[in-house]
Amino acid sequence: MEVAITGASGLIGSALSRALRDDGHIVRPLVRPASTGQRAGPDAIGWDPVAGTIEAAALEGIDAVVHLAGAGIGDKRWSPARKREIRDSRVRGTDLLARTLAGLDRPPAVFVSGSAVGLYGDRGDEVLTERSAPGADFLAGVVQAWEAAAQPAVDAGIRTVFLRNGVVLAAEGGMLPRLVTLFRFFVGGRLGSGRQWLSWVSIDDEVGVIRFLFDQADASGPVNVTGPTPVTNAQFTEALGAALHRPTVVPVPAVGPRLVLGREMADEMLFVSQRAVPAALTAAGYRFTHPDVATALGALVGDRR
């Protein structure tokens, strides 16, 4: 199988690339110009979403395309310029890729495009499936525009799947290593009230879901890529403390993160409540490697590590 991947050097992309190569598949990373610092190997395909250019011919006959590229949502404080970059990096890249795939003589069998449960906004205790309505905050607007940008591929008849990812738990990157550092120094605790819901997925299941979707000819549209048992922030904190053998008695007041990150960024990233469940994956028969957060955290940062 030959798979083209944008964002192949990121947290999800690198894990997916490694798993595919280990099983003998060919990975074709899409890389931007040398000025960005990305290294182009012999299998690389060039593209530049800002300039609107891509090596379309190199995508002819590719079996699957996985689109994961986009500016990091939590990497920098949200200034107006950074918010534009977060949105534009997703919308422009997706539009360029979707239009290119739609114009191929031999398009891929499936286009798996990144998305996020951020589409749902802050929803309290409401259980969220793929049929739930979108929210109205900044990230919800970004995700709606992100998914809409893939419409050319959908219109061309390419099976298009949107990965509405929850928080991806991985030992090598993302949110978890930062939390582990705090907990190891005995300063880990729930955020605010701790009642907000967290939709999470282990990196093993993130990769497993993408590969599962390659083979599901009937799978298209949005797919919540989250573990089957979302937890509150307080429950997650307790589970992480148990995995690390650390107490979790020191809560983090909301005022601190709001001062550091700004109120909008803190509220949409740390204090938002999203209780998303993987209804589409469950119906399709996907079996989770880590069905609960304690199992996931034990495998990632527990004693066996």
**CATH number for 113:** 3.40.50.720
| pLDDT attached to residue 235 | 96
Query: Can you tell me the distance from the alpha carbon of 86 to that of 154, in angstroms, rounded to the nearest whole number?
Result: 23
Contact residues for 221 (Cβ-Cβ < 8 A; gap 6+): 130, 160, 161, 162, 280
- Do 222 and 263 form a contact (C-beta atoms < 8 A)? no
Does residue 37 sit within a domain?
A: yes
Does residue 40 sit within a domain?
A: yes
| pLDDT attached to residue 35 | 45
Question: Per-residue pLDDT tens for 214-262?
Answer: 999 999 999 999 999 999 999 999 999 999 999 887 788 888 888 888 9
Does residue 108 sit within a domain?
A: yes
Does residue 236 sit within a domain?
A: no
Q: Which residues does residue 191 pair with via DSSP β-bridges, in sequence order? A: 252
- Do 17 and 8 form a contact (C-beta atoms < 8 A)? yes
The residue length of the chain stands at 305
Q: Which of 275, 284, 283 is nearest to 236 (CA)?
A: 275
- Do 80 and 236 form a contact (C-beta atoms < 8 A)? no
Does residue 120 sit within a domain?
A: yes
| pLDDT attached to residue 259 | 84
Q: How many CB atoms lie within 10 A of CB 161?
A: 24
Query: Can you tell me the distance from the alpha carbon of 201 to that of 208, in angstroms, rounded to the nearest whole number?
Result: 11
Does residue 189 sit within a domain?
A: no
Does residue 75 sit within a domain?
A: yes
Query: Can you tell me the distance from the alpha carbon of 211 to that of 113, in angstroms, rounded to the nearest whole number?
Result: 13
| pLDDT attached to residue 39 | 55
Does residue 209 sit within a domain?
A: yes
Ranges in the chain, pLDDT < 70: 34-40, 303-305
| pLDDT attached to residue 303 | 61
Question: Per-residue pLDDT tens for 133-164?
Answer: 999 999 999 999 999 999 999 999 999 999 99
Contact residues for 143 (Cβ-Cβ < 8 A; gap 6+): 115, 116, 118, 119, 134, 164
Query: Can you tell me the distance from the alpha carbon of 122 to that of 135, in angstroms, rounded to the nearest whole number?
Result: 7
| pLDDT attached to residue 305 | 45
Contact residues for 286 (Cβ-Cβ < 8 A; gap 6+): 208, 209, 212, 278
Task: Domain count for the chain, please give it.
Answer: 1
| pLDDT attached to residue 59 | 98
Q: How many CB atoms lie within 10 A of CB 78?
A: 20
Domain that residue 145 falls in: 2-166+202-226+276-283
